[in-house]
Amino acid sequence: MTLLKIENLQVAYGRIPAVHELSLEINEGDTVALIGANGAGKTTSLKALAGLLPIRQGKVFFMAQDVAGWSAHEIHRLGISLVPEGRGVFAEMTVLENLQMGAYGRRLDVGFHRELSDLLDRLPRLRERIKQRAGTLSGGEQQMLAMARALLSRPRLLLLDEPSMGLAPIMVEQIFALIADIQRQGVSILLVEQNAHLALHVAQYAYVLEQGRIALSGTGSSLLQDQRLLHAYLGQ
């Protein structure tokens, strides 16, 4: 079943076009990667989908409903959550307070506390630091926190923007283990990631964005064998 379908999406910063007629689809439970060089329009695309940037033209169907032009809080309430590049944690708030913010709009009832406990069982580092200010966490721990916070909003679709950026290799492994775990829970993911190898390994399908346009697409496994992609993006 198609969860998200984008048709000819165009996004601009003022008069400067950033994304040109982007079209892609994500099925229920799938991870789809969006890769490409810096400045290709990947982050812009995610922000537009999350309602943080205006859409100049095109349609965005989420659960068969056109949500292009909806506000960020309306899109979030519908089931799309963004984990932004740079994590975006509330530095002066504790880990617990950040997680509670993820449940904004929900009641902090027995169901929430059960979900929170299950999540902390999967992320023991956060449990150990539950009363610590988020700004004092390492980069990898902040990334875990940002993803956990988004999950507590019960998303149908998780938008992940550069989750491995600036992290040590051991933390990158843990973040991608968490991404795989999220996928097993049935949450669909649109992943923007600088590490194309890792992205293509976890993605069922992938799109290569070049100067605001889709230049290439295919299954993750097939693109790992594509000589054009290997040469242009994977340094081989």
The neighbour count for residue 202, using CB atoms within 10 Å, is: 18
The neighbour count for residue 114, using CB atoms within 10 Å, is: 10
pLDDT at 232: 63
Q: Which long-range contacts (CB under 8 A, 24 or more apart) does 126-133 make?
A: 126/95, 126/99, 129/95, 130/94, 130/95, 130/96, 131/94, 131/95, 131/96, 132/94, 132/95, 133/91, 133/92, 133/93, 133/94
The string of pLDDT tens digits covering residues 63-81 is 999 999 999 999 999 999 9
Residue 235 pLDDT exceeds 80: no
Task: Report DSSP state, residue 178.
Answer: H
For 2-91+153-232, CATH number out of 3.40.950.10, 2.30.110.10, 3.40.50.300, 1.10.10.10 equals: 3.40.50.300
pLDDT at 236: 47
Q: Which of 197, 202, 204, 203 is nearest to 225 (CA)?
A: 197
Query: Between the ranges 192-196, 204-208, 222-226, where is the mean pLDDT highest?
Result: 204-208
Mean pLDDT for the chain?
Answer: 91
Domain ranges of the chain: 2-91+153-232
Q: Which of 75, 81, 72, 79 is nearest to 148 (CA)?
A: 81
The string of pLDDT tens digits covering residues 7-39 is 999 999 888 889 998 999 999 999 999 998 888
pLDDT at 75: 96
